[in-house]
Structure 1
């Protein structure tokens, strides 16, 4: 891990032209915990176990950037202006006040006001993005092209956010704007060949990280993978404190890791062309 970052910001520098960002796996509520209705609710929508699922990233010599802070404090994958990434569709805010299922997160009068949101931007949002930017700059000094892979997961069924069951693999490229057509096609084809359901630029087209940093013409290829949680763990029909999250399922996780590793290798190979 590199030095000079807050304790909650974990950066492992690699030499390959690949950065893996894991912005939503954190569960630390820090000093904000007393403001929430229930700590379990505040952690409910975490991208559970992704640090375990992506434990192979170091073997690719990729750079890893992740936070241990909960997205309920501030979502580092949202537009810092507060503008919605999906106008007209249900989502959660920069500083979420409800869960994905619409449950209130804060005790009455405890939700962050404008000043509180500004403090969270400074304390938690900006350091994460400063780290991502610094790693992009570092690697661009050595490579003409680098890839930023933003790793996410979500429950397979959340009626408030989408209809039915989400495909296992949901690749987002901001409708093709955040990465080159060749990489988008190659990764999409590998996901389709996995034998499991997949879609490219469906309900999840990429969040702020993908949209903000992806500039293929400037040598930065950015892609988001939203993974249905059933790909690596059991999902209860109705999440509750006694059944969510589930432990990682080794058999499911190993199959999923193999696919993710393959698409990361495709990215690395594609960058050389």
Structure 2
């Protein structure tokens, strides 16, 4: 375990992936950015705290401490867009969710630099994910990969209006058994909060790469609207964002997410092996 890659091993057939909560930016990169704050603006803030109960359930947790601005471990390294025709960010993003440039003019990463970042940060994350999934599949015959994300409730460049609280992605059903989808949906729906499955967020590269139900790996992405656990200011500035983690506000959502992960474990314990 390093400041770049954090792996907490459990024995239950569940891996929780947290690919976007990192904020580490190498010191030699910061002078090339428009601002370090802008480079961290789109982080999945405080998810490691929101899911701090996962290891108590026996789950394995894999997360990176590296900012998605350095490299996004949830993007196809070939450069193919996850959402053709829609606004998105790439493997080494050059703009924010709002379309603001991240780099000063002429300072964008070169192809060689992107390859170096992939070797240093991207490949180890995926080696850890693959290793843990293989370990747990060896123990149980199958495993669930739960890819944890959050995003501001409103990001007009990416989607219209306000995002539902729970956004489940299964790559249109290809990444997991329908029984797992139903179990996760039921846990979300029990809260009475808005939920959508395979809406704007159908699952990123992690969900799509590792979700192989016929091989015993069932993957699901959960994209949460941030309002469930922190305040969202109307205007984001270095003085207003990110807002602090709010334990009291987060408690009901955290309880719901515990039910979601328990539903994943229940599915994994009853689903027949491939």
Q: TM-score, normalised by structure 1?
A: 0.97
Distance across 2 between alignment mates of 1:181 and 1:191: 15
Among 17, 20, 25, which residue is 1:24 paired with?
A: 20
**Counterpart of 1:47 in 2: which secondary structure?**
coil
Distance across 2 between alignment mates of 1:251 and 1:169: 19
Matched with 2:4 is: 8
Aligned length: 269
Matched with 2:186 is: 189
Q: Given the alignment of the two structures, is residue 101 of structure 1 paired with residue 92 of structure 2, yes or no?
A: no
User: What pairs up with 1:47-58 in 2 under 5 angstroms?
Assistant: 47-58=44-55
Task: Quote the offset at 1:250 in angstroms.
Answer: 1.8
Task: Quote the offset at 1:66 in angstroms.
Answer: 0.5
Among 222, 226, 229, which residue is 2:223 paired with?
A: 226
Task: Quote the offset at 1:20 in angstroms.
Answer: 0.4
Task: Quote the offset at 1:7 in angstroms.
Answer: 3.4
Task: Quote the offset at 1:225 in angstroms.
Answer: 0.3
Task: Quote the offset at 1:89 in angstroms.
Answer: 0.3
User: What pairs up with 1:82-161 in 2 under 5 angstroms?
Assistant: 82-161=79-158
Distance across 2 between alignment mates of 1:88 and 1:65: 31
Q: Given the alignment of the two structures, is residue 168 of structure 1 paired with residue 160 of structure 2, yes or no?
A: no
Task: Quote the offset at 1:153 in angstroms.
Answer: 0.3
Distance across 1 between alignment mates of 2:232 and 2:3: 31
Mean CA deviation greater in 249-258 or 129-138: 249-258
Q: CA RMSD in A?
A: 0.9
Matched with 2:212 is: 215
Distance across 2 between alignment mates of 1:204 and 1:238: 24
Distance across 1 between alignment mates of 2:31 and 2:129: 30
Task: Quote the offset at 1:252 in angstroms.
Answer: 2.1
Distance across 2 between alignment mates of 1:186 and 1:19: 17
**Counterpart of 1:37 in 2: which secondary structure?**
coil
Distance across 1 between alignment mates of 2:69 and 2:77: 15
Distance across 2 between alignment mates of 1:268 and 1:69: 28
Q: TM-score, normalised by structure 2?
A: 0.96
Distance across 2 between alignment mates of 1:107 and 1:79: 25
**Counterpart of 2:221 in 1: which secondary structure?**
strand
Distance across 2 between alignment mates of 1:250 and 1:9: 25
Deviations 1:193-248 (A, max 9, x none): 21111111100000000000000110001000000000100001111100000011
Distance across 2 between alignment mates of 1:171 and 1:260: 12
**Counterpart of 1:222 in 2: which secondary structure?**
strand
Deviations 1:89-142 (A, max 9, x none): 000111000000000000111110111111111111101000100101111110
